[in-house]
Structure 1
Amino acid sequence: MRKIILTLLSVVTLALGALQSAEALPTLLHNVKGYTFENGELKQFNSILFEDGVILATGSQEELAEMNSFNISIDGKGKTLLPGLIDAHGHLLGLGLNLMRVDLRGIQSEGETVDAVGQYAKKNPDTRWVLGRGWNQVLWLNKEFPSKSSLDKTIAGRPVWLSRIDGHAGWANSKALELAGIDKSTPDPEGGKIIRDQSGEATGVLIDAAMDLVEQKIPPLNKKERKAALQLAFDHLIRLGITSVHDAGVDFETYRLMLELSGKDRIPLRVYGMLSGADPRLEAMLKYGKVNHPFLKIQSVKLYTDGALGSRGAALLEPYSDEPDNKGLLLTTADKLSQYLALITKHGFQTNIHAIGDAANHMVLQELAKLDKEQSAKTLRHRIEHAQVVVPEEIPMFAKLGVIASMQPTHATSDMNMAGDRLGQQRLEGAYAWRTFLDNNVIIASGSDFPVEKANPFLGLHAAVTRQDADNLPEDGWIPSQKLTVAEALKSFTIDAAYAGFWEDSIGSLEKGKKADFILIDNDIFTISKDKIDNIQVRETWIDGKRVH
């Protein structure tokens, strides 16, 4: 009996050894329409060879078969293969929480929005606060901010807090205002505004820093909720073909959790984290140093200088065209920004600065221009996040200083129905000006700013190429002179986004020695009609040489 057992063990050992030997051989994926960038130029191929998560070569099936033996041969069945897409600006925790809460995106009136909130509240009777995001008064017929009274009629006993789609305004019911201690005598906080009615009473809408008055009363997330939200976000992005994401503003608790998840190999896509400059423990995180794990890299800080255009919080050099007594809100002064830059660059970290209005962009460029060579944008790759409205004459300064423009194409097609009203026609020359940036040799790293916009990267690619919304309007595109080519748009979502996160040596293109992060899609993005790019579906997502979707 003992002899039989030993013989069986010997057979199993041999089988396992053979299996391990087979697994060590490369994988060949062939019969694909492959696209990548090599030295900045578009390259095509029909096969890719990879081993242990690393690319060995791309080319024709015959060439690769001659080059190396392989264990597994996979027929791509003619699908289009692209480098894994990179979203250079999103909010992972915000996306996960958005997936857990009431989604108000795209609803066409205040009444319908309140109905959706009421339905959610009935289905979730145990929630202490009714939370949601995505309302946008620009889509409503009257285009006016909502009021607490409409919420009070549906939900009076529980506090309600609903973030605007851009995250720069919030809408509260009376219960939430009461808990926050907001009444007629409450002053506007620095960098914020309490919208009031004619009698001076708060209407329920709070802008930028004023939002903190309510949000500090919301019970903090516990670790379990935070982890669940991140997992939802990870899974959602992978299904959309996003293999790497730049997380724009990581607070201390999320930072700790990400370090823990990374240490346990529980982060399934590559995350480039930006520490939140607003977190009181920023300096402690900076002192810990840079994080450079295979799926987690942290060496940047996210700062804010102004609000958003839709809520008239973006800081403008001249007043809003549709509100002549308002220039927006400058959330960070030039002196404070200079102090931040000194602290952040002392630790060798990149600084990624939210600036939407032309006044904010002007201030940031002026402060970046003062940095020494060791602290400069050319050395540390400082970025301006959004760069939505820039004085046209200042756009060349981005390239001169080495500043990366981190932009979100769908912002233009979402904002086009109000940007002209806010800015007037003259200022639109430097607004959402992707073509002008590229023509001035500025590197653009594209993203979505999810959950402000949908995370689907093909919506962003469609917007960049067509300057049209989901209904393919306007017919020739909004300010069509700013359109990008398909190759330029794809580059901004791949290799240039990788560069913006110091990851260009590992990801962003499909070249020898880089990680086997790629996606298979159902249509050729280079031959399909441009107005159908947003309909492209991701069939497979591969990260580190493994199929994860």
Structure 2
Amino acid sequence: MRADLIFKNAVIHTMDPQRPTATQMAVWNGQILALDEQLAGVDCDNVVDCEGRTLLPGFVDAHTHLGWTGTREFSVDVTTETTAAAVLDRVAAAAATRAASEWIEVTGYDQRRIGGTHLTAAQLDQAGGGRPVWVKHFSGHASVASSAALAAAGDQALAAACLERAGLLLEEEQELVSTQVYPYPLAFIEQAVRVAAELCLRDGVTSIVDAGIGAGLASISAVELRAFQNLVAAGELPVRATLMPHFDALQPIEAHPDDTLEVGLGLAVASGFGGERLRIGHVKFWFDGGMMARTAAFTEPYSGTDNVGLLAGEREALISQVASAHASGYRVAIHAIGDVAIDAAIDALEAARSRRPFVHARPRLEHGAYIRDDQLAALADLGVTVVSQPCFLQTSGDDFADIMGAERTARLYRGRSLLDAGIRLAASTDRPHAGTPLQAVQALTERRSNTGRSLAHAERLSVAEALRAYTIDAAYAAGTEAWTGSLTPGKRADIVMLDRDPHDTPVEEIGGIAVAQTYVDGALVWQGGAA
């Protein structure tokens, strides 16, 4: 028998407990064909000598936003700026090249990075020369708008209230501006997705879950699915994509009463529709805001304030929507960061299960930043997978520890206690936020901020456990473990080659391991200078 490709002299971690390691691997027709002794009698002209490098399954980024990430390449990106003056200078420079009525979109904004105080509409008015300016917080949960941007908003009463806060928009208030800017043209969205997908390949990511398309805070168009579909048809989507429609993208549908179908996408398409390259996944719900924007919902206030955040809607309405989606055949994923939102998520999933038994439901809790001890048993009983963003420990750990206080910090972005409770953990980047899979593995095993501050040290995982969170367990969260997540014969040959083995690398150096090559369906799609 002839293979299309053979890797030899490799350190292969398959992430398959039935066959955890190997040194040789054959690929045929885009699939893993054989390992080690199974290669007996297999011929191949295309042999890659790995020279001792490490092969892992291509990383599965279980929560990301490709379109949103890619648009940053075409906006005024102020991610690296560290002062308000520098951000405003960038706005002024953009204004000098724009027509008087042309929008200026700014991405990568973070008030914490520029001194802790938000920009104001008045500052944007001056820097933008009276143009409509929209400065988007990189968390997605807040933004600042100029007076001209708010002057054209549909709800002038709400716009006036936001101007009283100097143009600060929180959560759904951002629709005052987003409805003027969105939807982006399909061709632009396709370009943005392609750009973001290339960034994924650079980091060894071969499969992604796009968390919230078609509506909601993370969406940039009601027709984002078509952009992905067009890319697949043109052979220009280099990663596998599972798309999560936002609940607001679903519509009431008329069906036979026996079918319990109440809401759905067009033609009642449900979770799992599609193929190995592009498919529909869970339905996304937002139950609260974000810690960076101080809108995540907590029982106790943020340290030094009386702010406890807020839920994303009426509690009973959110619970009812989850139950309705589940009854209609959709898997559900709930964005819940603070413990109040997680309480509501637990109640929603219990209501959904009581209405219709959980059969292959695989509910997901997105983020789960602060899970109390008493919530662990309920999450385990419901079969919830917690989809976490470990790199936030590095990039925002100091800030989160300050606003949470010592007691809550000990339970921040939990790891060990989840696994011990029987709760599956999947990892993700939440692009366009900072971080890579290998940096996340380091964060899960090291539990330190970028300044060296220890964060919930008792929640550390082993390297092997952390890698599972970015491979087979992330694939399970996406519903794609039948063809991704492990280097098992018969699965797709999605592979990342690393210059070093994370298992044998000092923990503090794991995030710096170079990705040498990335393969999708056995085809080399990215190669670094180290390969």
TM over 0.5, shorter chain: yes
Cα shift readout 1:335-379 (whole Å, capped 9, x = no counterpart): 222332233223322101100111000111112122337845563
2:242 paired with 1:272:
yes
C-alpha contact 2:95 2:127 (8 A) present in aligned 1: no
Structure 2: distance between partners of 1:421 and 1:195: 27
Structure 2: distance between partners of 1:296 and 1:509: 19
2:220 paired with 1:239:
no
Instruction: Identify which of 420, 423, 428 aligns with 1:439.
Output: 420
Q: State the 1:26 CA deviation.
A: 3.9
Paired residue for 2:23? 46
C-alpha contact 1:396 1:437 (8 A) present in aligned 2: no
Unaligned runs of 5+ in 2: 215-221, 252-262, 527-531
Q: State the 1:312 CA deviation.
A: 1.5
C-alpha contact 1:28 1:70 (8 A) present in aligned 2: yes
Structure 1: distance between partners of 2:105 and 2:137: 11
Instruction: Identify which of 356, 362, 372 aligns with 1:381.
Output: 362
Paired residue for 2:217? none
The more displaced of 516-525 and 280-289 is 280-289
2:271 paired with 1:299:
no
2:51 paired with 1:77:
yes
Cα shift readout 1:42-71 (whole Å, capped 9, x = no counterpart): 822211111001111223xxx244242334
For 1:234, give the aligned amino acid.
A
The more displaced of 260-269 and 480-489 is 260-269
Structure 2: distance between partners of 1:78 and 1:128: 54
2:445 paired with 1:465:
yes
How many residue pairs get aligned? The number is: 507
C-alpha contact 1:377 1:403 (8 A) present in aligned 2: no
2:127 paired with 1:147:
no
Unaligned runs of 5+ in 1: 1-21, 189-193
For 1:498, give the aligned amino acid.
A
Structure 2: distance between partners of 1:42 and 1:463: 27
Structure 1: distance between partners of 2:395 and 2:55: 29
C-alpha contact 1:320 1:422 (8 A) present in aligned 2: yes
2:75 paired with 1:93:
no
2:497 paired with 1:520:
yes
2:313 paired with 1:332:
yes
Paired residue for 2:142? 169
Cα shift readout 1:204-230 (whole Å, capped 9, x = no counterpart): 211111111121122531111111111
Q: Residue 216 of structure 1: SS of its match in structure 2? A: helix
Q: State the 1:93 CA deviation.
A: 0.7
For 2:35, give the aligned amino acid.
T
C-alpha contact 2:323 2:355 (8 A) present in aligned 1: no
Structure 2: distance between partners of 1:521 and 1:126: 49
2:503 paired with 1:532:
no
2:1 paired with 1:31:
no
Structure 2: distance between partners of 1:272 and 1:297: 5
Structure 2: distance between partners of 1:92 and 1:448: 11
Instruction: Identify which of 401, 408, 411 aligns with 1:420.
Output: 401
Structure 2: distance between partners of 1:528 and 1:447: 21
Q: Residue 325 of structure 2: SS of its match in structure 1? A: helix
C-alpha contact 1:376 1:382 (8 A) present in aligned 2: no
2:152 paired with 1:179:
yes
* Identity within the alignment, %: 29
Q: State the 1:385 CA deviation.
A: 0.3
C-alpha contact 2:319 2:345 (8 A) present in aligned 1: no
Paired residue for 2:325? 344
C-alpha contact 1:156 1:175 (8 A) present in aligned 2: no
2:129 paired with 1:156:
yes
Q: State the 1:120 CA deviation.
A: 4.1
| RMSD (Å) for aligned C-alpha atoms | 2.4
Q: Residue 167 of structure 2: SS of its match in structure 1? A: strand
Change (3 A) 1:101 1:126: farther
Instruction: Identify which of 460, 463, 467 aligns with 1:486.
Output: 463
Change (3 A) 1:69 1:42: closer
For 1:292, give the aligned amino acid.
G
Change (3 A) 1:244 1:276: same
Higher-Rg structure is 1
C-alpha contact 2:7 2:47 (8 A) present in aligned 1: yes
For 2:304, give the aligned amino acid.
D
2:383 paired with 1:409:
no
Change (3 A) 1:270 1:181: closer
Paired residue for 2:184? 221
Structure 2: distance between partners of 1:448 and 1:287: 30
Structure 1: distance between partners of 2:127 and 2:135: 14
Q: State the 1:231 CA deviation.
A: 1.2
C-alpha contact 2:276 2:483 (8 A) present in aligned 1: no
